[in-house]
Amino acid sequence: MKPFVLFLLLSLMSALPNQAQTPKVSYQSFEHYNDRVAEFETMRPVDSTDIVMLGNSLTEFAGDWNKLLAARRIRNRGIAGDDAMGIYHRLVQILPGKPKAIFLMVGINDLSHDLSAAQVFELCQKVIDKIRAESPQTKLYVQSLLPINESFGRWKTLEGKTDEVAKLTRMIRRYCEANHITYINLFRYFNRHGTNEMRPELTSDGLHLSPLGYKIWAFHLKKYLRELAK
């Protein structure tokens, strides 16, 4: 083989891995967000066989979703403290791989930023629309927010937001129904009967879940995993 042809071939081959790399997230946020994004960059890129659990601390703190759901190839892409725009900007780490499915939960931290339910809904809609536009073959499951319980007195930025959580949940549900997106109503399994308040036995601090809370969440997701397996 002529030297020039060999050089050209080797150059093309060396360029291929770079083309396959997951794009980097340019968005910079708080320290834990930046650390988690950097950690994700070191992992195997998301591909079409993966199911991505995408969200904030509620998703991250579940740990190994494969164990929780008795499944395989589930990627935990939760970041504690993350909000809709944080998720929006890091979709660049997920959507190029055209994952098999995404289970999205978003909105609670945006409400803690003193935004109205309507304002947060617009941000959530941007995330949903970006997923659908850039990876239409990915099965998208939009999960409701979970209720909160203010009696714990732990999360001052969510004081007075109990009914706003329920309001935002209804707005997301209506949008999903109108646009034929699978919506998973988890809220109804976590709230105290007749109220918008989280059942106390399902939470550790009024926001995050107890082990029983995670078991209930997993139980209600398993039927959707069975659908994906068909």
Q: CA 110, CA 158: separation in Å to the nearest integer?
A: 10
- Could you count the other beta carbons within 10 Å of the beta carbon of residue 8? 11
Show the DSSP H helices in the chain as ranges.
3-20, 31-42, 57-60, 65-69, 84-90, 108-112, 117-134, 162-178, 187-190, 211-229
What is the per-residue pLDDT across 148-195, written as a single tens digit (0 to 9) for each?
999 999 999 999 999 999 999 999 999 999 999 999 999 999 999 999
State how far Cα 225 lies from the chain centre: 16
What is the per-residue pLDDT across 12-56, written as a single tens digit (0 to 9) for each?
444 443 335 668 999 999 999 999 999 999 999 999 999 999 999
Q: What is the pLDDT of residue 21?
A: 61
* 55 neighbors 82 (Cβ within 8 angstroms): yes
Q: Domain limits of the chain?
A: 24-229
* 99 neighbors 47 (Cβ within 8 angstroms): yes
Q: In what order do the strands lie in the sheet with 139-143?
A: 74-78, 51-55, 101-104, 139-143, 182-184
Q: CA 216, CA 189: separation in Å to the nearest integer?
A: 8
- 197 to 97, 161, 183, 215: CA distances (angstroms): 38, 10, 21, 19
pLDDT band at 6 (very low <50, low <70, confident <90, very high): very low
Supply the pTM of this predicted model.
Answer: 0.90
Fold classified for 24-229 = Rossmann fold (3.40.50)
- State the amino acid at position 142 in one-letter form: V
Q: What is the pLDDT of residue 230?
A: 84
Q: Is the dihedral of CA 23, 59, 76, 38 positive or negative?
A: positive
Q: What is the pLDDT of residue 63?
A: 98
Q: CA 68, CA 215: separation in Å to the nearest integer?
A: 8
pLDDT band at 5 (very low <50, low <70, confident <90, very high): very low
Q: Which of 186, 180, 183, 142 is nearest to 166 (CA)?
A: 186
Q: Hey, what long-range contacts does 120-123 have (CB within 8 A, 24 or more apart)?
A: 120/84, 120/168, 121/168, 121/171, 121/172, 121/175, 123/83, 123/84, 123/85, 123/88
